Every structure is written in C-alpha cells, then in structure tokens.
Amino acid sequence: MKTVTTLSELRAARAALAGTVGFVPTMGYLHAGHISLVQLAKRDCTSVIVSIFVNPAQFGPNEDLDAYPRDIPRDLQMLQEAGVDLVWLPTPEVMYPPGFQTWIDLDEITQPLEGGMRPGHFRGVATVVAKLFNAVGPDKAYFGQKDAQQVAVVKRMALDLNFPLDIVVGPTQREADGLALSSRNKYLSEAERAAAPVLQRALQAAQVAYAAGERSAAALRALMQQTIEYEPTARIQYVSCAHPLTLQELDTITEGALLSMAVYFGKTRLIDNVILD
Amino acid sequence: MKTVTTLSELRAARAALAGTVGFVPTMGYLHAGHISLVQLAKRDCTSVIVSIFVNPAQFGPNEDLDAYPRDIPRDLQMLQEAGVDLVWLPTPEVMYPPGFQTWIDLDEITQPLEGGMRPGHFRGVATVVAKLFNAVGPDKAYFGQKDAQQVAVVKRMALDLNFPLDIVVGPTQREADGLALSSRNKYLSEAERAAAPVLQRALQAAQVAYAAGERSAAALRALMQQTIEYEPTARIQYVSCAHPLTLQELDTITEGALLSMAVYFGKTRLIDNVILD
C-alpha cells in the first residue's frame, strides 16, 4: 500500500495503477462502515484508492473541526489490512492553497435537513468531493447511506457536472444494538451511548407502521418523534420524512421516502436514516 | 468529422479517439479566432474536439441570448475544413435538464471588469466549462486571449478544482485595421465598424507609453480613455489596468499588467485587451 501527500504524487501513483479504480473518500478515524465501502470497491474494481482529509470547508465556525478525532497510524493499518492500493493524505495547504476561490453550490437539495442546520456544509462537501474526483479520476466512488443527504448531493452534483464516474452507495453499518457507526460516537458518555440506539428504534417503528399501511408522512414523523422522546437524554433537532431524491418534505408517501433525523445526546449530534421501500 | 448531440453519444465518440485530445469550446458563429485555436489544438494533440453551445447561463436577463448570432451549417463547414475530428452540439436540455441545480462560483476574480458589468456571467461560464471538461475529458483545452477575464477565471477554476488538463491561451486575432475578431462585430453599423479600431489604438498608445517607461496605472488608464474619447460614437463602460492574474486594479505596474476595456458602439458592446510584458 502506497501513501502520498501532494497532487503530483497522487497523479503519478494513480497513473501506475492498472485496470479500473474504486475510490473511497473519508475524513479518517475509520470504522467498519468505511471498511465496508473499501470491500465494495474491491469487489467492483481492480484497484482501490482511499483519501483521508478532514475538510475544513465543511465545518461551520461553531462546529468540531479542531476536536474532530484523528488517528492516521491506526487508519493506515486498517486500510493496509483491507487491501487498499493507494492512500492520499492531502494537507489543508494541498487542498486549499493561497488564492483558492472556487466553490460548488447546489440549490434546493442543500436547503433542508443537514443543510438547514449546517449552513455552508454542503458547499464544502461538494467542493472537496469535486476536487477529489478530479484528482483521483476513479471509475466508481463509494459513499455510505449513513450520510443520506450527502449521498443525494454528491449524486446530483456528479450528474449535473457530467462527472465520468459511478456513485455507489453502501448500507449503513451498525453496532449490535443498532447504533449507526460514526466517528463521532466516541464523544458519547456511557449513558448517552446507552440511549443512542433509540434512533434506530424510531426508524424501525416508522418502518413497521409503513409496512402496515401507514402513508401519512406526518404520522410517521410523529411516531419517530414520540419514540425518541421516550429517551430523556435525547434532544431532537429534526425528524424528517422526505422525498428520497429532492429531499422535500412529503405529505403522502407514494414511492418511497427518506426517513431521517438529527438528535443531540449531550453535546454530541448524531444522525441516522432509512429509505422506505 | 463526426457530430454528436447527447452526452452518451459524445462519450462513445470520445472513447473511440486515439491519442491526446485537444478541446476548443465555442458558442458558434465561428470566425478566424476560433479556427486559430483549432489550429493550435491540431499542432499539440492527436485529435481535436469542438463544442458549439450558446450557453444561456452566461447571459443576463437583459443581454442578447436570443439575438446571439447562429449559423451551424457554416460553422460545421469551417470546422470540417480545419480538420476537426468531433463536434459536440448539445441542446440546452442536454446541458441543463430538469432538476439541474449545481453551480460553480469564483470569488474575487469574478468581481471586477466583465464580472462587475455582467452579474452571474462567470457563474454561467465556470459551470458550463466544468461540464464541458468533464464530458469531453481533454488533455488540453484552448481559449482566446480576447476574453481575458474568462481566461483568468477558467485557469483559476481548473487549478482550484484539480481538473486534469492544460489550459492553452491563443492570441487575439484581428482584422487588418486592428479590430479584434468577435461574433458580435456583425452588429456594428458601417460608421460604428469604422470607429471600433480605436480600441486597439488605445491599447497600443498605452503599450508605447509603457515601453517609454510609464509605470503609473492611472496614467495608462487616462491615456487609453483619452484615445477612445477621440471617437465620438464610442461610449466607455470601463478602462482597466489590472494585475494579470488577480485582476485587481493596479497603482504601479511592476510585473506586467492586463490592459482591458469595454466600450459601446451604439448598442454593441465590444471588449479588447493586451498584456504588457
């Protein structure tokens, strides 16, 4: 496994890879969710490239950029064991050199949900993903369903800007008790960690109601909210039942929906989601 | 010479081209300036692709989108004679299908000069150029120095977003009397056409003063302004002496400068420029 830092090193190492290339962009502090994407990429492609970059542009001024967890040696060990061919570890100076001033903005799709709570977040995501795509030149790029709006934004951007690659979405990986894997889970206290699986229980309650015939989005939202509020430590930021592509809130569910939520446990903000089918 | 319309047709035809690819994006109604870029591309690359697309996104609501001159049969004849391999003629629906919502914005570099007079113009330019680059996948892309700020914006975008290609700039092509070639020259009345070469005379006057040692940007701007005002039909929109990369107005010229101007002759707005060296 080769590791590179600069863009020219990356391009040289990329050009030396034969066959198709799968790409998994990450912010590091890897867990089994990231590794499951690497495994999908290995299944599909001849070679696999992973990037590790904690992207300052997608953190707001009051967010946890400096505190975001980092452990590069452990990450590299995990990627080596997973059979990755090339890891790109750009510095902020490599990504955003002096004079940098080009940004990618999406309209409606970035307004609700995470975009509504985190102004500028998806501008940072879209811009860095476009840079990563152009730098790596993959045939397929892999994203986790856990970040559902990010998936929708990246798919929309790739379509709108004619990026010559496929976006592949891997399923959310979970702990045994149902908590979705996230680098931010490490912030949870013991009590918060014990409460956090309520997110999946809320999604499951809505799925059961949908399977039983419920088609009112308001009813599903209310059901998720009530389930979460059963945990006194949980503080809901939003609970949503939205169109899976446009992310507009639904009245009636006709062809699937994205159920999603952002909930604070203490100072830690967790998200989770499921797509009804 | 092959012509294609849809993205999938383009990708198939592009994949069938051997060797390196040079790309000349145009809005059609071609003149010798465009053909000079094709010739540069043929000199450098194995194959040459040209796009013709009058991009609605770079025209303002009060600009001349509908009136912009079009003559596809003549354009194709000229490109065939110039030895082009592939012409892409996307429709507005191919470029901006329903749901399109991704835009590329550059900060400082789009604020002055053309960007100041034409709000949103460079958002449209940057977005369509990124789409064209991703669709065509060229090794080199060719732009004319005539649109100096467009050149600066495209170079900055390609650098900032890691586009894997070279930007090559061809010199401004001119009529025998010095008028820069432009698709918009056809709008000029006989009297306006006779007056329009004053733009190049103004640039030349500033170049002569610079060669004689003048290093005050204000003095060069004044000299250009006075030269243009000698033509009673000319109405100046701006005259600029700016840094060639950042496009910020200069006080003192230390390492070259971009002299540029936008001037109305009747209802027709012409631009011209030169880089001091």
Tell me, yes or no, whether B121 lies in a domain.
yes
Do A91 and A166 lie in a common domain?
yes
What residues in chain B have their Cβ under 8 A from chain A's Cβ atoms? 7, 11, 99-109, 126-127, 130-131, 134-135, 137, 156-157, 160-164, 246
Rounded CA separation B243/B228 (Å): 22
Rounded CA separation B101/B229 (Å): 43
Average of per-residue pLDDT across A240-256: 93
Phi and psi at residue B58, to the nearest 5°: -100, 5
User: What does the pLDDT read at residue A194?
Assistant: 97
Do B227 and B151 lie in a common domain?
no
Rounded CA separation A18/B264 (Å): 55
User: What does the pLDDT read at residue A254?
Assistant: 84
Do A128 and A213 lie in a common domain?
no
Q: Do A109 and B101 touch (CB under 8 A)?
A: yes
Do B58 and B155 lie in a common domain?
yes
Q: Which of B7, B105, B162 sits opposite A103 (nearest CB)?
A: B105
Tell me, yes or no, whether A175 lies in a domain.
no
Residue A277 pLDDT class (50, 70, 90 cuts): confident
Tell me, yes or no, whether B79 lies in a domain.
yes
Do A147 and A190 lie in a common domain?
no
- Which residue among A31, A34, A121, A243 is the active-site one? A34
Q: Could you list the pLDDT tens digit for every one of the 277 residues in chain B? A: 999 999 999 999 999 999 999 999 999 999 999 999 999 999 999 999 999 999 999 999 988 899 999 999 999 999 999 999 999 999 999 999 999 999 999 999 999 999 999 999 999 999 999 999 999 999 999 999 999 999 999 999 999 999 999 999 999 999 999 999 999 999 999 999 999 999 999 999 999 999 999 999 999 999 999 999 999 999 999 999 999 999 999 999 987 899 999 999 999 999 999 999 8
ipTM: 0.96
Give the other-Cβ count within 10 Å of B67's Cβ: 9
Instruction: Choose the final residue of a domain: B143, B170, B197.
Output: B170
Residue A126's domain is classified under what CATH number? 3.40.50.620
Interface A:B, Cβ pairs < 8 A: 76
What residue numbers bound the domain in which A243 lies?
183-272
Tell me, yes or no, whether B177 lies in a domain.
no
Do B138 and B11 lie in a common domain?
yes
Tell me which DSSP letter residue A250 carries.
P
Residue B215's domain is classified under what CATH number? 3.30.1300.10
With 0-12 CB in 10 A as exposed, 13-18 as middle and 19+ as buried, what is A39? middle
Rounded CA separation B176/B17 (Å): 37
Which residue in the block uniquely carries the two structure tokens 């698709």? Answer: B183
Determine the residue among A55, A161, A247 to mutate to test chain B binding: the one whose Cβ has the most chain B Cβ atoms within 10 Å. Answer: A161
Tell me, yes or no, whether A178 lies in a domain.
no
Q: Rounded to a whole number, what is the distance in Å from the CA of B140 to chain A's nearest CA?
A: 15
User: What does the pLDDT read at residue A255?
Assistant: 77
